[in-house]
A and B are shown apart, each in its own frame.
Chain A
Amino acid sequence: MDTSDRSPADVPALVVADLKKHFRRSGGGTVKAIDGVHLEIAQGEIVVLLGPSGCGKTTLLRAVAGLEQPDEGMIRVAGRDVFSTTGRRVQVPTEHRDLSMMFQSYALWPHMDVKKNVAYPLRRRGVRRSAARAQVAEALRRTGISGLEDEYPHQLSGGQQQRVALARAIVAESPLVLFDEPLSNVDAKVRVELRSELIGLQRKLGFAAMYVTHDQGEAMEMGHRIAVLDQGRVAQLGSAADVYERPATRYVANFVGAANEFEAKVVDVAGESVLVETALGKVRVPRSNSPAGAAAGDVAWVMFRPEWMSVTEDADGARWTGRLERLVYLGSHAEAFVRVGEELFQVWADPRRSLAPGATVHLDVAQERLRLVTDDIDRVAPDTTGEAGR
């Protein structure tokens, strides 16, 4: 990746290539915290790292910050290699990476008042006291906490502490800001408020961001793109719609949103569809929705979202017939749990419809909505890569 022929505006804020980091377990054995990650964040783009705890998302973020040392690979921030094991080894210490970061605990220094906390990144980067003062005031204004300059962290509410941490993260106008689950410590209402403010700030200031969270709602709202991490690997990288509508693997399908899935065995690949044998009979899945190179004999899962399926009372043309076990009223929709053979499907139904548990119902889902997924990250359906390949 030669960056010399790109104009400055084209230089990605972050490039991570083939990054690996293994931890040795105390009881022996190793954990692959980061297992060959490739990732690029464009200028002004927010990429969210999403995954459950232990998937490597925080380790990846900390490796970019220089707080963890990867075993091998390359990290380039704004066109400058800050870590590299290919060729001449590069390892720039955290303090020289010119980044900003917002920590989960906010990490406000308790012995400094708000203005000192926020001025810190500027002062350490050689900004004169008088110049820093104006920038601090601007950052506090932008984060809506003007007037708190002289308060100490323990005198502030959780939400205010968070805004101070945010002000400190944006004050130096670093090209890349790292967010480590910054909203997980406040209550739901403040969180929603801060999320939209954060997006507003980002659109206005235009910094690029890497944002770690385990909350899929937050990921979908915040990220231009979402990287779903699975055991140290990027299982899928794409827009919220890509990840939800076209999950690349079984893991992604289940982690983001609810999924109906049942086991299938590929019988035949012909033309534009793949024929699979399942416990519920033969099912045809579009080839574009199936793993690349699917061949007869492969084991996979047929997957679809609850709202892609409908409940009908008309047996004609219905795909499956089953028994309604439970109906949960949720206002905007009702969630029906329908037993078909051994499988229990979750289906969205019209909340005003009167359905009685025990009733026989018919289910239908369009063939083009069916997807075939596997556990294999390297074999994903052609349409899932979306923007990920850019």
Chain B
Amino acid sequence: MIRGLVWNLRDYLRSPFRVVVAAVALVAAAAAAYPLVRVFLNLFVVDGRVDFSSLGQITDVPGLGGILWNTFSVVIVSSILALLAGAFLAWLNERTDATLGAIGRAMPYLPFLVPPIASAVGWLLLFHPTVGTGNAFLRNVLGHVGIHLGHGPVNIASWWGLTFVLAVVHVPYSYMVISAGLRNLDGALEEQSRVCGAGTVKTFFLVTLPGIRNSVGSAVLLLVFFGLADYSIPVIIGTSAQIKMLSVEVVQLMTQKFPPQTGAAVSLSLVAVVAVAVVWVLQRRLLSRGHFYAIGGKGQSSAIVRLRGWRRPCQAIAILFIIVSSVLPLVSLVIVALTGFWSATPAWSNISLRTFVNVLVNDSTSASSIQNSLVLAVFGATLGVVVAALAIEFVSSGRRSRFTGFVDAVIKAPATFSIIVVTIGVILGFSGSPLYLGATLTILLIGYVVVYLPQATVTIESSASQVGRELREASAVAGSSSSGTYLRVVAPLVVPGLVAGWALLFVRMLGDLTASVMLAGPSTSVIGFRILSIYSNGSFGDLAALTLLVTVIATVVVFTLLLVSNRIGRRTRTATSSVVAVTGAEPAR
């Protein structure tokens, strides 16, 4: 066994390409593990012994009970709302004749096009109880029917407002996961149920829903994870509603206390980690109890439910919901940015591009933030994609072993913890001795890459997994070296995934708030950092302009790259899927 291992190692060293791939993967794993290890060492190792007593510092957090109650009540209710809405939209689009067309296809991309910070600011500008533009409009309408209100009628700066915005922003996640589940569920199962005499509703509850339980479970996990991790909506809407959420408190403990209360911050973050873990365990329990069988991807037809009279209303509700939830906040951002001020009744006569000139030119801090963010996003996305691609190559090519599995798990480990914990680790690991990178752009770059690498890995992995093992093996049998196989077979097929991964990383890094607020400083300001400082003491016109800029840049980049990716992928994707269909098919007998 040992001799075999030594031989494998010698094999490895013979190919420079594989050495490079392994080195990159190991460096990536080390970079992912280092911050987490530092957090652990800092808090739980005292005088060389493991000691969890610093978890007790959580009690130093003022108003702990209220924070936990707010956080869990908001996240649970918003997750339920997002789940129901997402499931309804997905079912409508995948299983009925009320399809959503291009809007349905665009849904999963919405969170990338409209960053949560833009939604949060937009909703606040719209439905602030007194100065909200939308509220003023509604009061005006109500005034015509004889109802006169001094404020409201909607108050986004409230528990319900916070919950609603969180839910709306996260609907695309549940929609995406449940759509995929429905697409993979063989329509014949539903047809069989109909043949057996069950109606549309019965079939949905008895066959469809149990069939996609797995996806529903994943959706819940995703919603709870993102709900607990989100910082932008709690900081914008929660703060104006005077509802303190966990993520906001943790960031405050790290940035507004001196010295930073790392122990309390990490202990509080771990509450979120534990909550996600509990959901995960519950999900596994519930799902493993059921009798599941994987449903093959062969010759599927989906049973289309005819909604008859309900079709148009359903379609209208769905499309209205999507447009309102994504477009309306942007409209209010545009109004405030163009008029320069936030007021209940927009000063239409003041329309100009003054605020954009401000943030791009006049205000040097904003201008340099934009510049820094663009540079960091371009470099970070490129670095992240290259590292992720090579790390996946290391894990997925050749023989799977415990070691490659371990490396894979370590690289993805930061995804398990919230961005906040990982960022704290980056601060502990890189800002002080021995590297002293604090308040540099380098630490921001490292932070972004470590925080977002798992996401890039997952995106690229799903496209790399389409490259069946036999495609590589056929190349090796044909006499190609491992670098040749990568360049000629793997890379061309993974390019669409690389492009998508790059777009994802770029957008995430450009609009990042959580890591930025902890890693950036006045001399290394980035967009997210700047948005928050304008929010606390600046002009709402500039805030709207900056937020819109992020949205526009993100949209342009994502659209351009998706077009490029589609063009590259058009030929290979159809071909790849046909190969997958062939590989996955049972031998015809």
Contacts and interface: CB of A to CB of B under 8 A. Distances in A.
A8 interface: no
A101 B475 CA distance: 10
A22 to B, nearest CB: 10
Contact of B480 (A101, A124, A178, A186): A124
Interface string B153-168: 0000000000000000
Given A107-B468, A109-B471, A120 B478 contact: yes
A120 B576 contact: no
Contacts of A96: 479
B579 A95 contact: no
Contact of B473 (A91, A106, A107): A107
Interface in A82-111: 89, 91, 93-101, 103-111
A110 B588 contact: no
Between B481, B488, B587, the greatest number of chain A beta carbons within 10 A of the residue's beta carbon is seen for B587
Interface string A37-70: 0000000000000000000000000000111010
Contacts of B588: 184-188
Given A184-B587, A186-B588, A89 B7 contact: yes
B48 interface: no
A188 B578 CA distance: 20
Contacts of B572: 110-111
B491 to A, nearest CB: 10
Contact of A71 (B4, B493, B576, B585): B4
Contacts of A251: none
B582 A103 contact: no
Contacts of B471: 107, 109
Interface string A119-153: 01100110000000000000000000000000011
A225 interface: no
A319 interface: no
B378 to A, nearest CB: 27
A261 interface: no
B196 interface: no
B102 interface: no
B316 interface: no
Nearest to A71: B4
Interface string B528-572: 000000000000000000000000000000000000000000011
B578 A181 contact: no
B470 A111 contact: no
Contacts of A152: 571, 575
B493 A110 contact: yes
A34 interface: no
A185 B489 CA distance: 23
B399 interface: yes
A69 B399 contact: yes
A172 interface: yes
Given A185-B587, A185-B588, A111 B571 contact: yes
Given A120-B480, A124-B479, A110 B578 contact: yes
A185 B587 CA distance: 5
Contacts of A168: 474, 478
B481 A95 contact: yes
A184 B586 CA distance: 9
B274 interface: no
Interface string A169-210: 000100000100100111110000000000000000000000
Contact of A124 (B3, B399, B478, B583): B478
Interface residues of B, number: 37
Contact of A153 (B8, B468, B488, B575): B575
Contacts of A187: 588
A158 interface: yes
Interface residues of A, number: 43
Interface string B1-14: 00110011001001
A351 B448 CA distance: 79
B260 interface: no
A201 B5 CA distance: 41
Between A99, A125, A154, the greatest number of chain B beta carbons within 10 A of the residue's beta carbon is seen for A154
B573 to A, nearest CB: 8
Nearest to B470: A107
A94 B477 contact: yes
Contacts of A124: 475, 478-480, 484
Given A95-B481, A185-B588, A187-B588, A65 B473 contact: yes
A103 B474 contact: yes
A63 to B, nearest CB: 13
B476 interface: yes
A111 B477 CA distance: 18
Nearest to A91: B7
B403 to A, nearest CB: 14
B574 interface: yes
Between A97, A111, A168, the greatest number of chain B beta carbons within 10 A of the residue's beta carbon is seen for A111
A97 B473 CA distance: 13
B492 interface: yes
A315 B481 CA distance: 72
B493 to A, nearest CB: 6
A123 to B, nearest CB: 9
Nearest to B491: A111
Nearest to A154: B575
A95 B582 contact: no
Nearest to B576: A110
A158 B588 CA distance: 12
A67 B476 contact: yes
B477 A110 contact: no
B492 A111 contact: yes
B474 A107 contact: yes
20 contacts: A67-B476, A89-B3, A91-B11, A95-B479, A98-B479, A100-B477, A105-B468, A105-B470, A110-B493, A110-B576, A111-B572, A120-B478, A121-B478, A124-B484, A152-B571, A154-B574, A154-B575, A154-B579, A184-B588, A185-B582
Interface of A: 65-67, 69, 71, 89, 91, 93-101, 103-111, 120-121, 124-125, 152-154, 158, 161, 168, 172, 178, 181, 184-188
Given A107-B470, A184-B589, 14 more contacts: A89-B7, A101-B474, A103-B473, A104-B587, A105-B468, A107-B471, A107-B473, A107-B579, A110-B578, A120-B475, A121-B478, A124-B479, A168-B478, A187-B588
